[in-house]
Structure 1
């Protein structure tokens, strides 16, 4: 079991990153191990002396053989259908998190550049950033018996690290990492963490938007005993940021998903599988993991529609989502294929009557499959009825004549010209 406590006040974003591939618990309280990195509400000190860099005990993960079936999130989103159109080539996605293990077999060669706002090491000592990166960009290795794949396997990644552990008291580091990512070419910036509303964070988000970078942020988690006392999470609550809630395998909003945060869409966030260390972790839960699914979809859209602005990409994702299913679900589950391929007015207002997809393929019902058993029975009955009819007709012709002759054999009459 990894890590310790993440401290971030009321805006804490915690999750469970169990090493076993078993379903995780329904709630993710802030004092559970494996929490996502967050920024503290405490103001940053003007002058601080950095502590020595902690020893980086990289996570190990389980082997790919531990994944015995296709992960449910892949089946549910079916993003491979969108791969017929694009796999994200040409788009750069920044992972603003705890770092990325660039040596993971499914992430090798994907990290284009790294930045460490924490002043420690770009490596991922916590494991959370690598889990997020895998959901976004893990290469397709199913030919080598690895069932897990990322949403957009052909994107490039920027490793924008702001936390060396599960928490940071310097709430300027998240803003620095976002700004660096925007200034280094990220078209999508994934922020799977929650922080308080600060001037530095607001300015970082505005900087990203001026660079036409789309920020995707986790809505935040709430422990059951804090339900009703939660506060909005940032940057998810800022205007122009795609805010993502978590759902379970039934499509129901997770009990830990923050309702105080403004919600745009939802995505899988319970019992999720992803990359960890050089292996894999299962039983992951948290809005931390819903966000990278949405970031992957945003990357696919940006690859297919490169002329759209970040806000137009958000509009496509919202308009093509499956529809809300209760409090905290926003416009509903993301729909990768529809987001990429549907005919949508990119300037329409999501949720308006005229904002629905303008068209697309018209479904044509397939013919019902042939029921060979029924057909065989029908042919047998028809054949039997025909045979019975022939028997009746024959009997109707023969029986009266037999009665007239007293059932004596008839005599053959030889024509005269044939008589001797």
Structure 2
């Protein structure tokens, strides 16, 4: 009875304080943590084969890059998940009671294990988990707070697999993170029959955000992928395999949430391989190297991890003119000495004497033999008619 009286008093105070306080009390009230059950069996998914991101690993596995995911928390006890830091903004504890955040974390950076065919895109990236919700819906104010906190913690990529409406504090948080050179990857949102007329989802629709739509095994945009949201690229978002709470796996996950996780992993690979690129060029590189648009709501087409990491883009190659060489010092070349005129005169005189001597010797070689034959007698002049 005493316990019931205390509980009744607390609820009465909460209601008397107004709707916002009552909502906070409800949010922080203990909830049953029971995500859907996963399985122990797991196989290589079509998404993993389609993107073939393991072919990028000889170049990079995302080492040195910090990725923050703002979601429902992460099961840090899962054998394929390593989380560097976990933060709870909901006041309900760090456990993932939905499973959504654990699945997103596995797609981004699930570690490589020989006995498991499933693996994340960037298994050596550093993960930060920021729990923003403990259910299917979250508080936009907490989402904005989570984005700012991720930016202050040094995240280089932020994954937001959450859709909401445009809010001033959310816009300000996104601008804050972009100003810190962070790549923000966000889900384009899922259409449901009860949604009526589709509307653009946020933060995916903000300028500067890498917005991701969902594609099926045939490469086409899935019917539930919101085409009203401006799309940057597509990624697998149907029948997705990933990690799940309790050390289990799911192989039937649908949604642009998981498509965004694949692109966040690719962004981590690009940032690790090209640390000199800012967030604008990273986003542009992912868009330019995609497989090509295939209709409304497909953006640049399916993301291509190998090309995103390895392609040489002419616009990123800046031709720098070689530096003009400095003038050589005046002392590096020895100046010729002035000519020695006396030596020249002596040489010319010796040369003339030598030529005269040679001429004299030649003449003597002709005259002396001739004189001997005549007995040194003078020659007789020839007389005409003689």
TM-score band by shorter chain is: 0.7 to 0.9
Q: CA deviation at 1:184?
A: 0.4
Distance 1:125 1:74 in 2: 26
Structure 1 residues 180 and 333: alpha-carbon distance in aligned structure 2, compared to 1, 3 A threshold? same
Distance 2:264 2:289 in 1: 15
Name the structure 2 match of 1:249. 217
Name the structure 2 match of 1:265. 233
Give the TM-score of the pair, scaled to structure 1.
0.68
Which structure 1 residue ranges, 4+ long, deviate > 3 Å from structure 2? Answer: 44-49, 224-227, 345-348
Equivalent pairs counted in the alignment come to 296
Equivalence map 1:43-58=2 (5 Å): 45=20, 49-51=24-26, 52-57=29-34
Q: CA deviation at 1:57?
A: 2.8
Name the structure 1 match of 2:371. none
The C-alpha deviation readout for 1:70-112, integer Å capped at 9, x for no partner, is 21001100001111100000001111100001110000xx211
Distance 1:191 1:331 in 2: 20
Tell me if structure 2 keeps the 8 A contact 1:317–1:334.
yes
Among residues 137, 158, 161, which one is paired with 1:167 in the alignment?
137
Structure 1 residues 233 and 291: alpha-carbon distance in aligned structure 2, compared to 1, 3 A threshold? same
1:114 alignment partner, SS class: strand
2:243 alignment partner, SS class: strand
1:330 alignment partner, SS class: coil
Distance 2:120 2:220 in 1: 23
Compare CA radii of gyration and give the structure with the larger one.
2
Structure showing greater relative contact order (alpha-carbon pairs closer than 8 Å, 6 or more residues apart): 1
Among residues 66, 87, 95, which one is paired with 2:61 in the alignment?
87
Name the structure 2 match of 1:155. 125
Name the structure 1 match of 2:168. 199
Distance 1:60 1:103 in 2: 16
The C-alpha deviation readout for 1:225-245, integer Å capped at 9, x for no partner, is 646x10000000000000000
Structure 1 residues 211 and 46: alpha-carbon distance in aligned structure 2, compared to 1, 3 A threshold? farther
Q: Is the counterpart of residue 62 in structure 1 residue 26 in structure 2?
A: no
Unmatched segments (≥5 aa) in structure 1: 1-43, 349-420
Tell me if structure 2 keeps the 8 A contact 1:313–1:346.
no
Name the structure 2 match of 1:236. 204
The C-alpha deviation readout for 1:359-407, integer Å capped at 9, x for no partner, is xxxxxxxxxxxxxxxxxxxxxxxxxxxxxxxxxxxxxxxxxxxxxxxxx
Alignment RMSD (CA, Å): 1.7
Give the TM-score of the pair, scaled to structure 2.
0.74
Distance 1:123 1:309 in 2: 34
Q: Is the counterpart of residue 186 in structure 1 residue 155 in structure 2?
A: yes
Distance 1:199 1:291 in 2: 23
Distance 2:49 2:290 in 1: 16
Name the structure 2 match of 1:21. none
Distance 1:293 1:105 in 2: 20
Name the structure 2 match of 1:135. 107
Tell me if structure 2 keeps the 8 A contact 1:115–1:177.
no
Q: CA deviation at 1:53?
A: 2.8
Q: CA deviation at 1:213?
A: 1.0
Equivalence map 1:325-364=2 (5 Å): 325-345=294-314
Q: CA deviation at 1:45?
A: 3.5
Distance 1:236 1:49 in 2: 27
